[in-house]
Amino acid sequence: MLDFVQQVIGGIALGCVYGLIALGFVLIYKATEVVNFAQGEIMMLGAFLSFTFIATLGLNYWFAFLLCVISMAILGAVMERLVVRPILGYPQFSIVMATIGLGLVIRSLVGIIWGTDDLRIETPFTGGVVRVGSLVLAQDSLSIIVATGLLCVILYAFFRFTRVGIAMQATSQNMLAAYYMGIPVKRMFSLIWSLSAIVACCAGILLAPITFIHANLGFLGIKAFPAAVLGGFGSIPGALAGGITIGIVESLSGFYLPEGFKDVAAYVVLLAVLLWRPQGLFGSNALKKV
Amino acid sequence: MSAQPILRLANIESCYGPITAIRGISLDLMQGQIVAVLGANGAGKTSILKTISGVLDPLKGTIEFEGRKIQSMEPDKVVRLGISHVPEGREMFPFLSVRDNLRMGAFIRNDQKEIAADIEKMFNYFPVLRERQDQVAGQLSGGQQQMLAISRALMSRPKVLLLDEPSLGLSPLLVKEIFAIIRRLNAEEGVSILLVEQNARMALDTAHYGYVLEVGRVVMHDTCANLVKSDQVREFYLGLHGQGDHGKRR
């Protein structure tokens, strides 16, 4: 039983990271109907930046975290401006290919700048444990869960109460009407890319202590994609729920099932859920009017 | 009526890709007036409004607003200058509440108190919106959505309101109600209105001046009082018997 609970909590922590990457997919998709396949690589870039700030420059963890978030926000907007904006309005396929290309570029650049060795960072939580009865929980895992929760509250408040947040929702619901309201739609797109880069960056920094930072970290994006689909592409709570589901399933199947099941578990769950609910866990049947 | 046009289109030509929608249209909207644009489907009425609000860029011609050229300007800048567009088909933000839809209408403004006061004012014009303020806009009926679309456009405090088919899909009673409010808005708020409408009877009763469009050209323009008397308008737009020469060469 103890093992089970421990595995579940470890799974939730990993799932939160999937969920955050999936959230990045969903934010961009909802607003611009573009699937950004570079999301995993953007997350990776965030992790590498944190390595530079924390390990190389020796900055305070929290200050470094803030610096990473700011740099990624700027980089997100720059990526949108350079890669997506020029081909906006062209077929979906072109934009999707461009984001895949962007992912490859980021992966190569990371290899050139940071090399291909596995890197590690130390955080205030590294090695720390929390004991609840006979349960031993790593602080690293708990910090991921707490930080994800916090981030969700911030995002919720942002979208619900701020003028820019509501304008982002408005833009994603009806772009033409957003133009008529005087909302600078193109600037909203940049902002959404920034926001989704921030979320991905947080995922990367949170993940860094429990895995190594390496140039293939971006492939995690491929696991986060089923998380987004599972939740019903386009639903923000769905992305998190999907991520956590996949995290738990992966963690449990890695522990109880023979070697190898861990890597396919996410897709098995995805197929099973899609057979039962084609619109995903939180997806709505209502088709968006275009 | 002052003789100064607040909005002047000169020889505007616009197209969607290879399809020319409007071919050289000139049109004046006088300060404080309601001007109606009549015409059948595909005559280019909506394209005129889209060209003014910057969603469609004209190939040729100029648009002057308060003496300033605004053709090919970004849509958000046009709104900031004081032109607000109520699009055809209402174009709600379906998952935002009625109140948030109105707040988005005031996106270009920063005066929170005044915005709240303006929302109250809209609720006085359309009391049903007050009852529904916390519902999402997608749940409103067609008529209520039209009311919301008009009030949302007014939230930016425009000098010119572009109204595209406000009667579309509404019951005759609701159409009357909406048009009565359009007249009130013009009289009480002093907003100049460019009205595009298929319901010619309603439009001619409401507007001061009218333009009749056929396949992207202005074929007739006059005061509405004169247009109502014209044989062509009577026969083809009002369905009354007259001696129009529709189809013949002009």
CA B91 to chain A, closest CA, distance in angstroms equals: 6
Instruction: Quote the ipTM score.
Output: 0.87
- Residues 26-65 on B with a CB inside 8 Å of A are 53-55
The predicted-structure confidence for B39-65, as pLDDT tens digits, reads as follows: 888 888 999 999 999 999 999 999 999
In chain B, what residues touch A180 (CB-CB under 8 Å)? 53, 55, 75, 79, 84-85, 87, 91, 153
In chain A, what residues touch B94 (CB-CB under 8 Å)? 173-174, 289
CA A233 to chain B, closest CA, distance in angstroms equals: 17
| Residue A269 pLDDT | 87
User: Do the chains contact at B152 and A184, CB–CB below 8 Å?
Assistant: no
| Separation of alpha carbons B39 and B212, rounded Å | 6
User: Do the chains contact at B96 and A170, CB–CB below 8 Å?
Assistant: yes
| Separation of alpha carbons B118 and B109, rounded Å | 11
Both tokens of residue B110?
């920063």
State the CB neighbour count (10 A cutoff) for residue B107. Answer: 23
* Look-up of token digits 């690293």: A140
Both tokens of residue B123?
């609720």
DSSP string, A145-205: HHHHHHHHHHHHHHHHHSHHHHHHHHHHH-HHHHHHTT--HHHHHHHHHHHHHHHHHHHHH
Task: Nearest by CB to B93, from A177, A184, A185: name it.
Answer: A177
The predicted-structure confidence for A177-186, as pLDDT tens digits, reads as follows: 999 999 999 9
| Separation of alpha carbons A283 and B243, rounded Å | 59
In chain A, what residues touch B96 (CB-CB under 8 Å)? 166, 169-170, 173
| Residue A205 pLDDT | 92
| Residue B243 pLDDT | 56
Task: Answer whether B162 touches A (CB < 8 Å).
Answer: no
Q: Which residues contact B5 (CB under 8 A, 6 or more apart)?
A: B28, B29, B30, B31, B64
Of residues B18 and A16, more confidence is placed in A16
| Separation of alpha carbons B114 and B106, rounded Å | 10
CA-CA-CA-CA dihedral for B85, B88, B94, B100, to nearest 10? 20
The predicted-structure confidence for B171-202, as pLDDT tens digits, reads as follows: 899 999 999 999 999 999 999 999 999 888 89
Task: Answer whether B181 touches A (CB < 8 Å).
Answer: no
Can you tell me whether residue B215 is helix, strand or coil? coil
Task: Answer whether B125 touches A (CB < 8 Å).
Answer: no
Q: At what angle do helices A236-256 and A139-161 cross, to 10 degrees?
A: 160
DSSP string, A116-144: SS-B----TTTT-EEEETTEEEEHHHHHH
State the CB neighbour count (10 A cutoff) for residue A285. Answer: 8
Fold of B5-237: Rossmann fold (3.40.50)
Averaged pLDDT, A223-237: 85
| Residue B233 pLDDT | 82
The predicted-structure confidence for A146-158, as pLDDT tens digits, reads as follows: 999 999 999 999 9
In chain B, what residues touch A289 (CB-CB under 8 Å)? 94
pLDDT of residue B234 exceeding 70, the answer is yes
| Residue A30 pLDDT | 85
The predicted-structure confidence for A112-167, as pLDDT tens digits, reads as follows: 999 888 888 888 887 788 888 888 888 888 999 999 999 999 999 999 999 999 99
The predicted-structure confidence for B117-151, as pLDDT tens digits, reads as follows: 999 999 999 999 999 999 999 999 999 999 999 99
In the sheet that B209-214 helps form, which strands lie side by side, from edge to edge? B83-86, B160-164, B192-197, B34-39, B209-214, B217-223
Percent of chain A with pLDDT over 70: 98
Angle at A84 between CA A79 and CA A89, to 5 degrees: 165
Q: CA of B94: which chain A residue's CA is closest?
A: A173
Query: In chain A, where are the structural domains located?
Result: 2-215
Query: In chain B, where are the structural domains located?
Result: 5-237
Q: CA of B75: which chain A residue's CA is closest?
A: A179
| Residue B131 pLDDT | 95
